[in-house]
Homo-oligomer: A and B are copies of this chain.
Amino acid sequence: MRSELRKAGGEESLQPVQLQALVYLSRANRYSNTPQALADYLGLTKGTVSQTLLLLDRRGLIERFEDDVDRRVVRLRLSTSGERLLYETQPALPWQNATRNISPNRVRNAVSALREALMTLQQDNEATTFGDCQSCTWCQKLSQRIYRCGQMGDRLSGPETRKICRIYAPKVEEVT
């Protein structure tokens, strides 16, 4: 995994963390596109992440702008060239290819087992968990296309419910 990440970023002379930050930002929802959320996601301090963001900003891969209501908060998003870089790099592609000889069913089972292990690990470490609305306790379906986050009280579009969120609370699956 280390080599893969380094190679993918190396072509654009990006460090592994920088690439991971870009991937995160491409998938973060409106509650999760801040430096602090990225720090929690990567398991780094906010100071460290601040430096990474400075660098990505200087390279024009991200944009930083103020939050409307809380003026301490910085919002982050990929710039056009940041999105293009991700599109051209396709960091996930080697991993997808690696499963080509494995039946979809086995892949599904393995993924679900890994997801459970991750959740247990995160609970043991009292770490922030990230996930999308589909498996989140707070998510309410209002209509065919409109959802609502019961925690924040906002309405969410369909596409937004597939992004990752820092205030994720996994539904407890009833398995005996």
Contacts and interface: CB of A to CB of B under 8 A. Distances in A.
Interface of A: 1-4, 6-7, 42-43, 94-95, 97-102, 106-107, 109-110, 113-114, 116-118, 120-121, 124-125, 127
A90 to B, nearest CB: 14
A69 to B, nearest CB: 31
Contacts of A101: 116, 120
The SS class assigned to the A binding surface is helix
A100 B125 contact: no
A43 B3 CA distance: 5
A117 B4 CA distance: 13
Contacts of A42: 2
A21 to B, nearest CB: 12
Contact of A109 (B98, B109, B127): B109
14 contacts: A2-B42, A2-B43, A6-B43, A94-B124, A95-B121, A97-B121, A99-B113, A99-B117, A101-B116, A102-B113, A102-B117, A109-B110, A110-B110, A110-B113
A33 to B, nearest CB: 20
A100 B116 CA distance: 10
A116 to B, nearest CB: 6
Contacts of A120: 97-101
Given A107-B113, A110-B113, A4 B98 contact: no
